Amino acid sequence: MAFSIGIDLGGTKIAGVLVDEELHILAEEKILVDREKRVEKVIGDIELLVRGFQEKGEGECWGVGLALPGLLDWEKGGIALSENLNWRDVPVIPLLKEKLPLSFFMEHDVRSGAVAETYFGAAQSFQDVLYISVGTGIAGSLIWKRNIIRGAHEASAELGHMVIEPNGPLCRCGNAGCLETLSSGNAMERDVFHLTGKHIKGEEIFSRAREGASPYQEVVKRASAFLGLGLFNLVQIFDPEVIILGGGVAEAGEWWVETIEEEYQNRFFWTPTIPPLLLGRFRSRASVMGAAALPVLYKRGEYVRSIY
Ligand SMILES: [Zn+2]
């Protein structure tokens, strides 16, 4: 028997899972990130999560995989820059290794989701995959012949910041009309607030939209239409075999995919094969599951960038 641990460090939450050799979840936990985002406190919290899982796990610990936000420092094993955490040059893995004598692995959080879907999820039978994660924001990852395309500056597949509507809403990146400002969970919540004056959570918006209630249905359909357009543009550039839709909004299920399909399918005229849109298996859990998958994939000799 063996087990692995996955930790997804986000701007507001730390998610952890304990998995077996086949990536079945044995235990799961979520805690809030320290409000001031102090490095020492956050590292201490991750240490406690890992120790808790170690006590529950049976047999050998294959290691701890971390899904980290921002720009990663592969040499040191940590974060070079994270806007969400307001961290710069934090050697996350060396700090954890001082306390925990285990093998560590890391991956960028969105790419970690793509790893989970590629090796254990909806993209298992495909080679060339475009993964898009739609949650509070939008991000993505490209997997070509089962390799992550990282780009010359580790900045590839920032799909959320493609400008789709030049006169659209302002984006946190400084541009206007990025896909993220039109199609993300936050974008839908903002639109509903403008129309109703009420703060309504994404899940609630979707359940009302499915019942056909106005203006929820219009808001979701508009956001999905922009997403369909963005995905169509991406197919023109990359010609993937499949597009996997993950992230928190994917919890809305097949109905959401159908609303995207309308715009997506209608754009194609001469493309011989339209890549299918598939819901990811892990949805909002993709990043933490990808993190837990890293030690497993290392043992199998299938995929790993670095071991620490
Ligand atoms: Zn942007």
Q: Where are the chain's structural domains?
A: 2-113+285-300, 126-280
Quote the pLDDT of residue 247: 92
* Count of beta carbons in the 10 Å neighbourhood of residue 81: 15
At position 63, the amino acid (one-letter code) is G
Quote the pLDDT of residue 151: 87
Determine the Cα–Cα distance for residues 78 and 74; give it in Å rounded to an integer: 7
Q: What is the mean pLDDT of the chain?
A: 95
Instruction: Tell me what percent of the residues of the chain surpass a pLDDT of 70.
Output: 100
Quote the pLDDT of residue 232: 96
| Å from CA of 32 to ligand 1 middle | 26
CB proximity list for 115: less than 8 A, separation 6 or greater = 107, 148, 290, 293, 294, 297, 303
Displacement of CA 258 from its chain's centroid (Å):
21
For residue 8, is pLDDT > 90?
yes
Residues 79-86, mean pLDDT to the nearest whole number: 92
Q: Give me the helices (H) in 69-215, please.
A: 92-97, 109-120, 179-183, 185-196, 202-210
Quote the pLDDT of residue 90: 98
For residue 304, is pLDDT > 80?
no
Q: Out of 100-109, 287-296, 298-307, which region has the weakest mean confidence (pLDDT)?
A: 298-307
| Per-residue pLDDT band at 84 (split at 50, 70, 90) | confident
State pTM to two decimals. Answer: 0.91
CA R_g for the chain = 19
| Å from CA of 161 to ligand 1 middle | 4
Question: Which residue has tokens 């239409």?
Answer: 225
For residue 158, is pLDDT > 90?
no
| Å from CA of 39 to ligand 1 middle | 27
| Å from CA of 187 to ligand 1 middle | 12
Task: Give, to the nearest 10 degrees, the angle between helix 202-210 and helix 216-238.
Answer: 100
Quote the pLDDT of residue 147: 87
Determine the Cα–Cα distance for residues 17 and 4; give it in Å rounded to an integer: 8
Determine the Cα–Cα distance for residues 92 and 72; give it in Å rounded to an integer: 10
Quote the pLDDT of residue 231: 97
Determine the Cα–Cα distance for residues 15 and 128; give it in Å rounded to an integer: 28
| Å from CA of 137 to ligand 1 middle | 10
Structure tokens belonging to residue 224: 């999905």
For residue 25, is pLDDT > 90?
yes
| Å from CA of 147 to ligand 1 middle | 26
Question: Which residue has tokens 């070509």?
Answer: 144
For residue 163, is pLDDT > 80?
yes
Quote the pLDDT of residue 139: 93
| Å from CA of 174 to ligand 1 middle | 6
Quote the pLDDT of residue 156: 79
For residue 303, is pLDDT > 80?
no
| Per-residue pLDDT band at 6 (split at 50, 70, 90) | very high
| Å from CA of 172 to ligand 1 middle | 6
| Å from CA of 170 to ligand 1 middle | 8
Residue 202 in contact with residue 185, Cβ under 8 Å?
Answer: yes
Quote the pLDDT of residue 152: 87
* Count of beta carbons in the 10 Å neighbourhood of residue 92: 25
For residue 121, is pLDDT > 90?
yes
Quote the pLDDT of residue 187: 97
Structure tokens belonging to residue 135: 């949650």
CATH number for region 126-280: 3.30.420.40
> Which of 286, 292, 168 minimizes the C-alpha distance to 230?
168
Residues 205-230, mean pLDDT to the nearest whole number: 96
pLDDT: is 270 or 48 the higher one? 48
Determine the Cα–Cα distance for residues 209 and 271; give it in Å rounded to an integer: 32
| Domain topology for 2-113+285-300 | Nucleotidyltransferase; domain 5 (3.30.420)
Determine the Cα–Cα distance for residues 29 and 43; give it in Å rounded to an integer: 16
| Å from CA of 180 to ligand 1 middle | 7
Determine the Cα–Cα distance for residues 104 and 99; give it in Å rounded to an integer: 12
